[in-house]
Amino acid sequence: MQTLKVKVWRGAENGAFQEFEVPRQESQTVLDVVTYVQRKCDPTLAYRFACRVGVCGSCAMTVNGRSRWTCRTHVDKVAEDGSVEIAPLRNLPVIKDLVTDMREFFDKWAKARGRFSGSKTRKDEFERVSPESKERKRVDAGIECIGCGVCYSACDVVSWNKDYLGPAALNRAWTLVNDVRDTAQSERLAAVAGDAGCHACHTHLNCTERCPKGLSPTAGIAGLKRAVLSATLSGKI
Amino acid sequence: MSAAGIHTPGMKNDYRARNHPAYWAFIVHRLSGLLLTLFLPLHFWALGQAFHGAAGLDGFLAWTQNPLVKFAETGLVLLLAAHMAGGARLLLIEFLDWREWQKSLLAVAAGLSLAFGLAFALNLG
């Protein structure tokens, strides 16, 4: 039977890789491999997953040095010389093995005012937003984020500046900036401006390159830069 | 969860995460910028030779006709072209609404830089 050599990160940040042999299967995903290791080789292995079909965004890891969603990453596509190296996401504190502490990642969504603020109640009529409008099309381009943390893990600016809000939080802010119903635009633009916000982006496009949903946070961040400039010139922030 | 574990900065990416065209474009832009910054004082120093009379500057300009200096100048033109094309690419990404073709801009930037460099090198003869 054909086997795959798997190096899996064990311990916290000062840990090390441990090697396992896993039987190869047809259409095997990296998450299948991790699950095999935990069920058949070492039940103390810690990892995180839920839906297994690319919806929940909880199984992201670093596979052969690149951040990926493991449930939809086929071993065939990433194995190099019959081996795979699996590590936790980068730029986030490692709790144990393949599990990172995602708190700072999600806290930054809140800091970027990633929450909708509306003015209407359930008694009001629905707001009509044309699917053809410029704003709605921009929202569509960024709205499918599943919050997996791959972009945050891939971003060099996050490594350089721990306060940087990161691609996912800024992408979320950009979708809300284009939400014509939202009433907190000035506060949001003020929150995403500055050294830790959109202006810190170096346009490496690491996030755009790695996003499993094919989104471009870089595009949203560039949009935020323009929106902040325009709001500053018109005295809104 | 250990208290120490949650205050650590996390593990860092290595070259494997950065090996894609847009990151190479960033490296070229950054390196060309740094090298041009190093060249700039030399440029001003050369112009400053005029303060000591025409002979000083003419002597320096005659030295620049040296084939090796001319060859190095091709490198300089290439650096300038790469930095300018890379900068134009960034401006197009930042100031225009996102389009898929913006990802191809770095190929255009690289092509333009090479074309400028080659045009200069061909004119040397």
Look up the ipTM and state it.
0.90
| Mean pLDDT along residues A79-89 | 97
Query: SS3 for B26?
Result: helix
Interface contact B8-A12, CB threshold 8 A: yes
What is d(CA A104, CA A90) in angstroms, rounded to the nearest whole number?
A: 13
| Mean pLDDT along residues A199-215 | 96
pLDDT at residue B6 above 60? no
Residues of A with CB under 8 A from a CB of B: 12-13, 62, 64-67, 87-96, 100-101, 103, 138, 141, 153-154, 156, 159, 162, 202-206, 208-210, 216, 218-219, 222-223, 225-226
pTM: 0.91
For residue B1, the model assigns a pLDDT of 42
pLDDT at residue B8 above 70? no
Question: Do residues A127 and A99 lie in contact, with contact meaning Cβ atoms separated by under 8 Å?
Answer: no
The closest alpha carbon to A150, from A219, A78, A73, A212, belongs to A212
For residue B5, the model assigns a pLDDT of 40
Give the angle B29-A226-A194 at the CA atoms, nearest 5°.
75
Q: Distance of alpha carbon B54 from its chain centroid, rounded?
A: 32
Is CATH 3.20.20.100 the right assignment for the domain spanning A3-100?
Answer: no
For residue A176, the model assigns a pLDDT of 98
For residue B125, the model assigns a pLDDT of 60
Torsion of CA A72, A6, A158, B99, to 10 degrees: -30
Residue ranges covered by each domain of chain A: 3-100, 103-233
**B35-63 pLDDT tens trace:** 999 999 999 999 998 888 888 889 889 99
Interface contact B93-A203, CB threshold 8 A: yes
Is CATH 1.20.1300.10 the right assignment for the domain spanning B21-123?
Answer: yes
Return the DSSP state at A8. Answer: E
Residue ranges covered by each domain of chain B: 21-123
Higher pLDDT, A207 or B116: A207
Chain B: closest CA distance from residue A94 (Å): 6
Is CATH 1.10.1060.10 the right assignment for the domain spanning A103-233?
Answer: yes
For residue B102, the model assigns a pLDDT of 77
Count of alpha carbons within 13 Å of A64, Cβ hemisphere only?
Answer: 16
Percent of chain A with pLDDT over 90: 97
